[in-house]
Amino acid sequence: MTPRIGMYEEQRGRPRGRSNLDYAILESMILIANKYNLDPKQVIDAFFNAWTNKISHCGSLEISCREVNHDSATFLITKDEKVVWQFPVNLDIIRNQDARDSIKKFPMPKKMKKTDELGRSLKISELRFGMKGINLQAEIVEIPPTKHVYTRWALEASVSNVQLADETGSIRLGLWNDQIKMVHIGDLIDITNCSVARFVDKLQLRLGSKSTMSVIK
């Protein structure tokens, strides 16, 4: 059962009662607000308006609700008809007024950089084991059947190690739960702040709580 979202209480830099995915989504909203000179409260309220009215506007951004499931909805953010972001959001984050108001007290993401200071995207051939903070653009070329596993906390989860490719090579990317629903074969995706691990003696990209993934086209 998804815990009810209330006001945040920080402990070791992370709000209590918040999953890594919810934390990353709220950080993404703050990053979007920072990039486009918007108030984070305006951004999260625009998500609520898009959920209720299918589409809303916030500054120069257009936010549309593309798909609604039982407890989450997938939103697409565009600017001048170009995709800025697309991700699923736990509806408890935006349906609850207290939760939306609490974004004003949400800690600013550490090491947040201005747009012109962001590092360049690497090519797959440049990736090496142990790298962190990697930015990458690549195409989804394969999505294996989803597997159901149990985490170390005895929670059931879905996982798929999708195959990414660019002009220099290919690599697997581990996706979990709602992340899998975000992508389709042929999508060009942009991922930031990921790391390079090794799985079954092959390199693999991994998304962390600070990572973002968006569909470019």
Instruction: State pLDDT tens for residues 61-73.
Output: 999 998 888 888 8
For residue 89, which of 67, 60, 61 has the smallest C-alpha distance? Answer: 67
pLDDT > 50? residue 164: yes
Nearest to 175 by CA among 119, 125, 215, 128: 215
Q: Is the pLDDT of residue 3 over 70?
A: no
What pLDDT shows up at residue 90?
85
Q: Would you place residue 151 in the very low, low, confident or very high pLDDT band (cuts 50, 70, 90)?
A: low
CATH of 119-215, one of 3.90.76.10, 3.30.43.10, 3.40.50.920, 2.40.50.140: 2.40.50.140
CB atoms within 10 A of CB 92: 15
How confident is the model at residue 20, as a pLDDT?
58
Average pLDDT estimate for 49-67: 92
Is the pLDDT higher at 195 or at 83?
195
pLDDT tens for 128-143 read 888 888 888 899 999 8
Per-residue model confidence (pLDDT) at position 154: 63
Domain locations in the chain as residue ranges: 10-115, 119-215
Look at residue 110 in the predicted model and tell me its pLDDT: 53
Task: Specify burial of residue 32 (Cβ count, 10 A radius: 0-12, 13-18, 19+).
Answer: buried
pTM of the model: 0.47
Q: How far apart are the first and last CA of the chain?
A: 33
Q: Phi/psi at 16 (nearest 5 deg)?
A: -70, 155
**Could you tell me if residue 81 is left (phi over 0), alpha (psi between -120 and 50 degrees) or otherwise beta?**
left
Query: Among residues of the chain, what percentage have pLDDT more than 90?
Result: 16
As given in the structure block, the two tokens for residue 47 are 């998500």
Mean pLDDT, the chain, rounded, equals 78
- Could you give the percent of the chain with pLDDT greater than 70? 81
pLDDT of residue 62: 93
Distance between CA atoms of residues 63 and 75, nearest Å: 7
- Lowest mean pLDDT across 38-42, 64-68, 120-124, 193-197: 120-124
CA distance 184 to 116: 30
Least confident of 10-24, 30-44, 174-188: 10-24
Pairing between strand 169-176 and 147-150?
unpaired
| Residue 176: predicted pLDDT | 83
Q: Which of 152, 181, 168, 203 is nearest to 71 (CA)?
A: 181
Rg (Cα) of the chain, in Å, rounded? 17
Q: What tokens were used for 128?
A: 């090496």
C-alpha 1/C-alpha 65 separation (Å) is 23
3-class SS of residue 91: helix
Q: What is the mean pLDDT of residues 92-97?
A: 84
DSSP state of 70: S
